[in-house]
Chains A and B, each alone.
Chain A
Amino acid sequence: MSLRTVRTVCPRNCYCTCGMLVGVEDGRIVGIEGDPVNPATGGKVCLKGLSYVERVVHPDRLTTPLRRNARGGFDPVPWDDALADIARRLETIRRESGPSAVLYYEGSGSHGALSGLAAAFWRPFGGPTRAHGDLCWPAGLEATRLTYGDNRHNHPVLTRESRFILLWGHNPAETNVHQWNLILEARERGAKVAVVDPRSTDTTDAADLHLRPRPGTDAALALGLGHVILAEGLHDQRFVAARGLGFESYVERVAAYPPERVAQITGLEAEEVRELAREYATGRPALLVAGFGLQRHHHAGQAMRAVALLPALTGNLGVAGGGWQYANLASHCLRPPPSLPPPPEVDPRSFPTSRLGWVLQHLGDPPLRAAWFEKANPVSQHPRTAEVRRGFEGLELVVVVDQFLTDTARMAHYVLPAKTLFEEEDLVTAYWHPYVQLRQKVLDPPEGVRTETEVWRELCVRFGFGTDAFDVDPTKRLRAMLPEGREGALEELRDRPLDLSGCGDVAWADGRFLTPSGKVEFSSEEAARLWGVEPVPDYQPLEEGHAGEASRRFPLQLLTCKTRERIHSQFGNLSWIREVDRPRVLDIHPLDAAARGLADGDPARIWNARGAAEAPVRLNPGIRPGVVHVIEGRCVPEDPWMNLVTADGVTDMGWGATFYECLVEVEAVSVERADPEPEGRP
């Protein structure tokens, strides 16, 4: 390709985690390709991977620390000044109020094992307040763990062998392009594809069956499918008898969900429920892929359990081409960095991530006075933006580490410029394929940018903490983070990704599950004990759902889904991406629009008691009436602030977020509203 080619990997919060080959010429990245040596991602990357060529040298990329000035703008400051001031202020706060008056928040913006080095500073600091759970997927992770004992699934390439692929709340044509490729291949071999999604998407375009239930009613649909499968004798009796626990209770549960009742709850037709049940149960081997979308509400965990039981019911586990696919944590077998100081005796204080806004304002004993955010953009990406902003305004010191001046960085006192993935060697795990990959260094960071490793070390020095963890030779350090006994794999990782899990390509092939009982738990005592939920999953209507109180005033269910041009608030500011990006519009069914006097292109206000956002109307017959949608993620000023209307609820298990449990009303912007506009900075 060019003078020098370096093998590395994309560390984004994304299923694919593609192996990449980077072409470097005269110290500049000139080309990026997929690495053919990764069996799951082959020789392809997505458009975002290609856009790194621009991202690394983008004119807006931060290359110096910034300090907020009196006018609300930012001035460049030298690293020494910035770190000295930050250290002084953190120390003062720690002395006066204790270490938990500081919040250390780490998001998912970049993955890499070296992020564990932050503990080398924060542990001796005494343990800052942390967040537990996350905004993304923990309800489903926990649901899967409770059902099967672990989050693992078949090797992705086995998708080709499926005869029936059920995509539930999942849009791989946008969010997992390599999976989509495999699904298309399966299709060309004769597989059928079914999709459960209230929207029409590029994925549903290729579906044989498309069911559009009301958001938040998936548990009822799953139990209804179970009902039909059992009623028609399509379940795998042998598997369930040998490998299932609590099946009788499950049978009792699904008895209450005949297709007619399911239709009433979900808004589907009874016949399409039957059809999906039959096709899924008879299309062997059948693969069920659940996205993260259907677990973004209060009763997510139980809903996910209900759905996750279907592969067990139909005996589609432990077979190539079958399975339950949600997240594959097989590659998460790395050890923490060596020579870390010991953890503090008392567990640091922590709160559910989703509640950040409330916590920043109302936590007491001690209240939060400072916060350090990295790999995150909570001001635009967290739910309930107005609360988050108010929380930020009350902090004495906010440090944000990022590559660009994001919405969150704009509210910081100090912004520290972050490196890109090309600028430090690290180990990267994945959550779709089982590979650990070595993210080899491609070039030095620009002048003025320091790696986080260097920043933590510097802070340790200033605080007088030990620097043992940093004084390890970087290569030795990476070796020590590989699983025990596999230290020698580092050299091989320079040439190819490695599956270090020992799990094998077919998950649960031996039929031994890692639950307390060793079986698939249709009924889980652990679930009841840990989370206070029913042992057998049931459908519970959402408080802020289509049948709830609030729906009388706010009758539309809002979804804010993902697209392929961005990862949340990353990439959308690049000109290469903007060339092919799509406008942020409100997808609304023509019937709902007509009832509100809205025509195509009209500016619309999407609002509820929590706030309001604006986007132009796009009449979309493909979306379920009663549901509206705007793409999420704020990358450029024109993007709407959708999280002004979302709620900061916590899921029934796993401490996840409830973005898709959101009722709104939509009206033309010109309409006067009785409620005043919520305050917020532009």
Chain B
Amino acid sequence: MGRRGGGAGKGFHEAPLVLFSALAVAGAGIGGSRVLLAATGQGAWASSPWEAGVVAGLLALGVLVSTLHLGRPSRAGLALRMVGRSALTAEVLALGASLAVGALAALLPPGSAVGGLARVLLPWLSVLVLLTLGTVYRLPGQVGWGGSAFLRPLALGMVFGMVVQGAAGSWEVGGSALAVLLLVWVVDALLMVLGGRKLERTLGSAEASHPAVFRRRRLLLAVRFSLVNLVAPLAFLLAWTLLLVVVLVAGGVLLDRFLFYALAARLTTEGEVRRVEAALHRRSIAPQSSTD
């Protein structure tokens, strides 16, 4: 039984971050999926103005929501001070750049050279956003956020983006694009499984940030897995309406992001102490133990 002194209060303060990252994954996923589509010959390397508009809109909404998470939203500009030093600054820059480029890509007329450049750049900036969304959380001691976890926003974003693009008619079902979608689905599923196993392995010394949710992690992770990696692909393959598949994947994105923050677990002194005490307890009640 530890002492209560020290540290943050209870409550799920990360809620705005859940929404923000869901919007960012969604927007950047749509933008980034253009790279996959173009690579499989299913479209141009440049986003259409519509596409850019949707991307920019989602990202803008996301950035707005993220400022709601700040204790001092009016100081949001400070986030850009540590360029080259802070991973979070890098993420904010990537988002900002994508937003700006996306806006240009959406608003500038088709003939504009700058607009054209913007439309070509946007997909790659979107991929960058998806990567930074992952790398920003490679933090010491956070067991769920290390290792291959930094690829999860990228994989999930691509799944979402491809599905939405399909619903919007950007590619024909069948052929290499389908293969790529299925491949990304597999990658996402793999990352989920790997992450889950790593979490279970390091549980002994980890301290959950939100114990109540953490206790139900297996159920919640199963729901997320099902939504994105079972039900959605199944629905897709059974040729259900793509809109339905979009809804399923969108739900999965939201749940994924919620679980990302809610299942955060850290190696802490308290966690280490608990691990040690559990072992001591087991040793003390084991039949062959000598009690001092």
Contact of A579 among B1, B3, B285, B291 (CB under 8 A): B3
Considering only residues 1-20 of chain B, those with a C-beta below 8 Å from chain A are 1, 3-5
**Interface residue B112 (Cβ < 8 Å from any Cβ of A):** no
Contact of A621 among B4, B5, B291 (CB under 8 A): B291
The residues of A that contact B291 with a CB separation of less than 8 Å are 621
The residues of A that contact B3 with a CB separation of less than 8 Å are 579-580, 582
The answer to whether A582 and B284 touch across the interface, beta carbons within 8 angstroms, is no
* Chain A: minimal CB distance from B6 (Å): 8
Chain B residue at smallest Cβ distance from A622 = B292
The answer to whether A580 and B284 touch across the interface, beta carbons within 8 angstroms, is no
A567-595 vs B, Cβ < 8 Å mask (1 yes, 0 no): 00000000000111011010000100000
Total contacting residues, chain B, CB less than 8 A: 7
Given A590-B285, A621-B284, residue A580 in contact with residue B5 (CB < 8 A): yes
CA distance A234 to B114 in the complex (A): 102
CA distance A618 to B281 in the complex (A): 12
The answer to whether A579 and B284 touch across the interface, beta carbons within 8 angstroms, is no
CA distance A41 to B292 in the complex (A): 36
The residues of B that contact A585 with a CB separation of less than 8 Å are 1
Chain B residue at smallest Cβ distance from A600 = B281
Chain A residue at smallest Cβ distance from B285 = A590
Chain B residue at smallest Cβ distance from A579 = B5
Chain A residue at smallest Cβ distance from B284 = A621
Chain A residue at smallest Cβ distance from B280 = A621
CA distance A198 to B113 in the complex (A): 87
Chain B residue at smallest Cβ distance from A582 = B1
Contact of B1 among A578, A580, A583, A621 (CB under 8 A): A583
CA distance A590 to B4 in the complex (A): 26
CA distance A590 to B285 in the complex (A): 9
* Chain A: minimal CB distance from B279 (Å): 15
The residues of B that contact A618 with a CB separation of less than 8 Å are 1
CA distance A580 to B5 in the complex (A): 6
CA distance A583 to B3 in the complex (A): 9
Chain B residue at smallest Cβ distance from A578 = B4
CA distance A618 to B291 in the complex (A): 18
* Chain A: minimal CB distance from B9 (Å): 13
The residues of A that contact B284 with a CB separation of less than 8 Å are 590, 621
Chain B residue at smallest Cβ distance from A594 = B285
* Chain A: minimal CB distance from B1 (Å): 6
* Chain B: minimal CB distance from A219 (Å): 28
The residues of B that contact A579 with a CB separation of less than 8 Å are 3-5
The residues of B that contact A578 with a CB separation of less than 8 Å are 4
The residues of A that contact B5 with a CB separation of less than 8 Å are 579-580
CA distance A582 to B2 in the complex (A): 8
CA distance A10 to B3 in the complex (A): 26
B262-292 vs A, Cβ < 8 Å mask (1 yes, 0 no): 0000000000000000000000110000010
* Chain A: minimal CB distance from B286 (Å): 12
The residues of B that contact A590 with a CB separation of less than 8 Å are 284-285
CA distance A580 to B285 in the complex (A): 29
* Chain B: minimal CB distance from A271 (Å): 16
The residues of B that contact A583 with a CB separation of less than 8 Å are 1
CA distance A459 to B285 in the complex (A): 64
The residues of B that contact A582 with a CB separation of less than 8 Å are 1, 3
* Chain B: minimal CB distance from A587 (Å): 12
The residues of A that contact B4 with a CB separation of less than 8 Å are 578-580
CA distance A618 to B285 in the complex (A): 14
The residues of B that contact A621 with a CB separation of less than 8 Å are 284, 291
* Chain A: minimal CB distance from B276 (Å): 16
* Chain A: minimal CB distance from B291 (Å): 6
* Chain A: minimal CB distance from B269 (Å): 16
* Chain B: minimal CB distance from A631 (Å): 13
CA distance A618 to B277 in the complex (A): 13
* Chain A: minimal CB distance from B112 (Å): 62
Considering only residues 583-626 of chain A, those with a C-beta below 8 Å from chain B are 583, 585, 590, 618, 621
Considering only residues 209-256 of chain B, those with a C-beta below 8 Å from chain A are none
CA distance A578 to B4 in the complex (A): 8
CA distance A621 to B280 in the complex (A): 12
Chain A residue at smallest Cβ distance from B5 = A579
A435-467 vs B, Cβ < 8 Å mask (1 yes, 0 no): 000000000000000000000000000000000
CA distance A579 to B285 in the complex (A): 32
CA distance A580 to B1 in the complex (A): 11
CA distance A590 to B291 in the complex (A): 12
CA distance A466 to B285 in the complex (A): 71
The residues of A that contact B285 with a CB separation of less than 8 Å are 590
A337-364 vs B, Cβ < 8 Å mask (1 yes, 0 no): 0000000000000000000000000000
B35-69 vs A, Cβ < 8 Å mask (1 yes, 0 no): 00000000000000000000000000000000000
CA distance A582 to B5 in the complex (A): 11
Considering only residues 618-646 of chain A, those with a C-beta below 8 Å from chain B are 618, 621
* Chain B: minimal CB distance from A625 (Å): 12
* Chain B: minimal CB distance from A605 (Å): 21
CA distance A579 to B7 in the complex (A): 11
CA distance A582 to B291 in the complex (A): 25
* Chain B: minimal CB distance from A306 (Å): 29
* Chain B: minimal CB distance from A638 (Å): 14
* Chain A: minimal CB distance from B266 (Å): 21
CA distance A590 to B289 in the complex (A): 14
CA distance A590 to B284 in the complex (A): 10
Chain B residue at smallest Cβ distance from A616 = B1
CA distance A399 to B291 in the complex (A): 53
Chain A residue at smallest Cβ distance from B1 = A583
CA distance A83 to B165 in the complex (A): 84
* Chain B: minimal CB distance from A46 (Å): 16
* Chain A: minimal CB distance from B8 (Å): 14
CA distance A580 to B291 in the complex (A): 30
Chain B residue at smallest Cβ distance from A583 = B1
Considering only residues 531-586 of chain A, those with a C-beta below 8 Å from chain B are 578-580, 582-583, 585
* Chain A: minimal CB distance from B160 (Å): 44
* Chain A: minimal CB distance from B248 (Å): 41
CA distance A578 to B3 in the complex (A): 9
CA distance A672 to B3 in the complex (A): 34
The residues of B that contact A580 with a CB separation of less than 8 Å are 3-5
* Chain B: minimal CB distance from A439 (Å): 30
* Chain A: minimal CB distance from B290 (Å): 12
CA distance A139 to B186 in the complex (A): 79
Chain B residue at smallest Cβ distance from A619 = B281
* Chain B: minimal CB distance from A199 (Å): 15
Chain A residue at smallest Cβ distance from B4 = A579
CA distance A582 to B4 in the complex (A): 9
Chain B residue at smallest Cβ distance from A590 = B285
CA distance A618 to B1 in the complex (A): 10
CA distance A531 to B115 in the complex (A): 105
* Chain A: minimal CB distance from B33 (Å): 51
Considering only residues 641-670 of chain A, those with a C-beta below 8 Å from chain B are none
CA distance A580 to B3 in the complex (A): 6
* Chain A: minimal CB distance from B169 (Å): 59
CA distance A361 to B1 in the complex (A): 42
* Chain B: minimal CB distance from A665 (Å): 24
CA distance A621 to B1 in the complex (A): 16
CA distance A580 to B4 in the complex (A): 6
The residues of A that contact B1 with a CB separation of less than 8 Å are 582-583, 585, 618
CA distance A578 to B285 in the complex (A): 32
CA distance A579 to B4 in the complex (A): 5
Q: A579-B3, A579-B4, A583-B1 are in contact. List 13 more A-B contacts (CB 8 A).
A: A578-B4, A579-B5, A580-B3, A580-B4, A580-B5, A582-B1, A582-B3, A585-B1, A590-B284, A590-B285, A618-B1, A621-B284, A621-B291
> CB within 8 Å of B: which residues of A?
578-580, 582-583, 585, 590, 618, 621
Q: Which 8 A-B pairs have the closest CB atoms?
A: A579-B5, A580-B3, A580-B5, A579-B4, A583-B1, A621-B284, A621-B291, A590-B285
> CB within 8 Å of A: which residues of B?
1, 3-5, 284-285, 291
A-B contacts, 16 of them at CB < 8 A, read A578-B4, A579-B3, A579-B4, A579-B5, A580-B3, A580-B4, A580-B5, A582-B1, A582-B3, A583-B1, A585-B1, A590-B284, A590-B285, A618-B1, A621-B284, A621-B291
